[in-house]
């Protein structure tokens, strides 16, 4: 998952438990129980414990560009090779950044106080004490995402010769643009505070997308509002970061050898393998990694792969936490012909949150009008039908491209997946549907050192892991496919040529 508030799910709850419903066209002819029974909690925990060992031996994290990620990739690759997969390491370079020390923010006048903060990814280093200048802030804010603070160079009065700190507000444009405009106007540091609507109030963190030359720190809406309304406020901002524009990492790509009836309809099943540098990343995204790896192993072990109607490719993405960079690299490196052969993408990014919910990517856009490419609605229905048959409630989560399925939907490839919740707070209605504790985060250790082997729900791993296995089996084994017309299609007719992706900032920066 991207950092807090870059991936906050937009949630619309079902009003009641879903009744059992007919499966998608063709999927009723697929018995997936053999795979769902083979994919066990114990099997997933085995991988999760190994990932914890890797983190323990490598500075407490498994972040791309650091030794813990390379050791994680070695482990996953070895497990896949033992299971009979042809494994490819797809290496790429990316702009790496991490905090060498926690950022600090202190109001020094008119009254001294310490303010909770965190440096943005790609923040510059520095120790700056200066006057605070609010930049076109909106208090109270309008609609979510409407605030234009810092999006135009004209928003910034010249900073002058004395040290100055720009105070800008989340909304409309990328964080990196706000920081770049401030730096160009002569400011020595930037504070970006949350926008203020429901779901946009807590401590703001995120990525600038590219290195900044000055410290850039985030704060909550309440703290930003207080600074904006304090006449004569001065602050001290410190950040000490490491940035390397040419750090190397890799994706692990695994294909199971063998022929299928529809070789030009590849199902890509993915999960990001990296953690943030702040912790071991056992829930985020060790759980997605463990579930995906166990499905791959059991698909081969049970012999079900021999009945595959279309190829399945398992992908473990690098540098997701830096902007979905591994998934973008994979999609952008494909030729038009290769891209046209991808039938669907399934994505599993956090499936074991301690205070979990059963969120399904909203492929049909029913919750917010933001539907995925054609076929995404059918994938969503694979999941909701499965949970409905189990008498388990689900809720849609925004299909906004903010996980590794994003590069796929940008080029028209249908996608779907599951999410158990991150830093968002569980509502009373959600607690009634899913259990757990209202008023607390789905994962209170999200992107922290405490996201370790104790930060899991085995119930969530069990339920969402089985649903993931069901979806993989359905897409790979179904003779009729997602649309029920497979028998009337030729292999060549199933592929569609798509244009190259046009992403500029890898999305998760506002």
Cβ atoms of residues 276 and 99 within 8 Å: no
Q: In terms of DSSP bridges, do strands 234-255 and 216-219 run parallel, antiparallel, or are they unpaired?
A: unpaired
Residues 406/410/414/418 CA torsion (nearest 10 deg): 10
The sign one gets for the Cα dihedral 331, 413, 505, 277 is negative
Number of neighbours of residue 66 by Cβ within 10 angstroms: 19
CA distance 76 to 80: 6
3-class DSSP state of 395? strand
Spatial neighbors of 74 by CB under 8 A, at least 6 apart, are: none
What CA–CA distances, in Å, run from 374 to 88, 218, 335, 364, 415?
A: 29, 37, 21, 9, 9
Spatial neighbors of 481 by CB under 8 A, at least 6 apart, are: 25, 26, 262, 265, 309, 310, 343, 475, 489
CA distance 9 to 24: 25
For residue 402, the model assigns a pLDDT of: 87
Which residues of the chain fall short of a pLDDT of 50?
A: 1-28, 487-508
Spatial neighbors of 198 by CB under 8 A, at least 6 apart, are: none
The distance of Cα 485 from the centroid of its chain, to the nearest Å, equals: 33
Active-site entry in 183, 202, 294, 320: 320
For residue 484, the model assigns a pLDDT of: 79
The distance of Cα 496 from the centroid of its chain, to the nearest Å, equals: 27
The distance of Cα 395 from the centroid of its chain, to the nearest Å, equals: 17
Spatial neighbors of 435 by CB under 8 A, at least 6 apart, are: none
Cβ atoms of residues 195 and 218 within 8 Å: no
For residue 488, the model assigns a pLDDT of: 37
* Secondary structure tally for the chain: helices H, strands E: 12, 14
* Rg of the chain in Å (alpha carbons): 23
For residue 485, the model assigns a pLDDT of: 66
Residue in this structure with the two tokens 């870059």, named with its chain if needed? 6
What CA–CA distances, in Å, run from 162 to 70, 124, 128, 131, 215?
A: 45, 19, 11, 8, 16
Share above pLDDT 70 across residues of the chain, in percent, rounded to a whole number: 89
Number of neighbours of residue 98 by Cβ within 10 angstroms: 18
CA distance 450 to 314: 28
pTM, whole model, 2 decimals?
0.85
Q: In terms of DSSP bridges, do strands 415-419 and 342-348 run parallel, antiparallel, or are they unpaired?
A: parallel
Task: Give the pLDDT confidence of 206-262 residue by residue, as tens digits.
Answer: 889 889 999 999 999 999 999 999 999 999 999 999 999 999 999 999 999 999 999
Q: Active site includes 320?
A: yes
Which domains does the chain show, CATH number per domain?
A: 27-85+256-494 (3.40.630.10), 98-242 (3.50.30.30)
Task: Give the pLDDT confidence of 113-162 residue by residue, as tens digits.
Answer: 999 999 999 999 999 999 999 999 999 999 999 999 999 999 999 999 99
Which among 263, 381, 249, 250 has a CA at the least distance from the CA of 313? Answer: 263
DSSP state of 285: I
Cβ atoms of residues 274 and 318 within 8 Å: yes
Cβ atoms of residues 178 and 136 within 8 Å: no
CA distance 234 to 108: 6
Which among 254, 277, 278, 280 has a CA at the least distance from the CA of 50? Answer: 280
Which among 26, 21, 52 has a CA at the least distance from the CA of 481? Answer: 26
CA distance 118 to 223: 13
Cβ atoms of residues 174 and 148 within 8 Å: no
The pLDDT mean for the chain works out to 90
């Amino acid at each position: 998952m991207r950092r807090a508030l870059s991936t906050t799910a937009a949630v619309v709850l079902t009003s009641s438990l879903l009744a059992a419903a007919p499966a998608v066209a063709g999927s009723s002819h697929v018995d997936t129980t053999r795979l769902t029974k083979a994919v066990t909690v114990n099997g997933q925990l085995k991988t999760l414990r190994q990932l914890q060992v890797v983190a323990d031996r490598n500075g407490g994290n498994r972040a791309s560009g650091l030794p813990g990620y390379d050791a994680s990739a070695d482990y996953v690759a070895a497990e896949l090779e033992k299971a009979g997969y042809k494994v490819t390491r797809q290496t790429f370079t990316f702009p790496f950044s991490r905090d060498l020390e926690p950022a600090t923010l202190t109001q020094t006048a008119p009254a001294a106080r310490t303010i909770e903060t965190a440096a943005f990814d790609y923040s510059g280093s520095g120790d700056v004490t200066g006057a605070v200048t609010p930049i076109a802030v909106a208090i109270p804010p309008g609609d979510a995402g409407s605030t234009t603070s810092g999006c135009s160079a004209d928003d910034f009065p010249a900073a002058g010769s004395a040290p100055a700190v720009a105070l800008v507000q989340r909304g409309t444009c990328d964080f990196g643009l706000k920081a770049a405009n401030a730096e160009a106007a002569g400011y020595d540091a930037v504070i970006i505070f949350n926008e203020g609507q429901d779901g946009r109030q807590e401590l703001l963190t995120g990525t600038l997308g590219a290195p900044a030359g000055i410290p850039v720190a985030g704060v909550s809406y309440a703290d930003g509002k207080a600074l904006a309304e304090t006449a004569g406020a001065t602050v001290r901002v410190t950040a000490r970061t490491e940035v390397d524009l040419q750090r190397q990492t890799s994706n692990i790509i695994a294909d199971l050898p063998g022929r299928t009836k529809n070789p030009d309809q590849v199902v890509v099943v993915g999960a990001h393998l990296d953690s943030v540098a702040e912790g071991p990343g056992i829930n985020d995204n060790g759980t997605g990694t463990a579930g995906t790896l166990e499905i791959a192993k059991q698909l081969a072990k049970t012999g079900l792969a021999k009945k595959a109607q279309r190829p399945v490719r398992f992908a473990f993405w690098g540098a997701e936490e830096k902007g979905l960079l591994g998934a973008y690299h994979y999609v952008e490196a494909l030729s038009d012909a290769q891209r046209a052969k991808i039938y669907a993408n399934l994505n599993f990014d956090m499936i074991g949150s301690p205070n979990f919910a059963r969120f399904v990517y909203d492929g049909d856009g029913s919750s917010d009008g933001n539907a995925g490419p054609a076929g995404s609605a059918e994938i969503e229905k694979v999941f909701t039908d499965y949970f409905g048959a189990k008498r388990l409630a689900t809720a849609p989560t925004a299909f906004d491209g903010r996980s590794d399925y994003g590069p796929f939907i940008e080029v028209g490839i249908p996608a779907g997946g599951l999410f158990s919740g991150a830093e968002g707070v569980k509502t009373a209605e959600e607690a009634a549907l899913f259990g757990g504790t209202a008023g607390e985060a789905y994962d209170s250790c999200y992107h922290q050192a405490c996201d370790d082997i104790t930060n899991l729900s085995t119930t969530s791993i069990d339920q969402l892991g089985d649903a993931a296995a069901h979806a993989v089996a359905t897409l790979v084994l179904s003779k009729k496919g997602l649309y029920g017309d497979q028998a009337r299609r030729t292999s060549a007719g199933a592929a569609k040529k798509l244009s190259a992706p046009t992403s500029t900032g890898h999305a998760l920066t506002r």
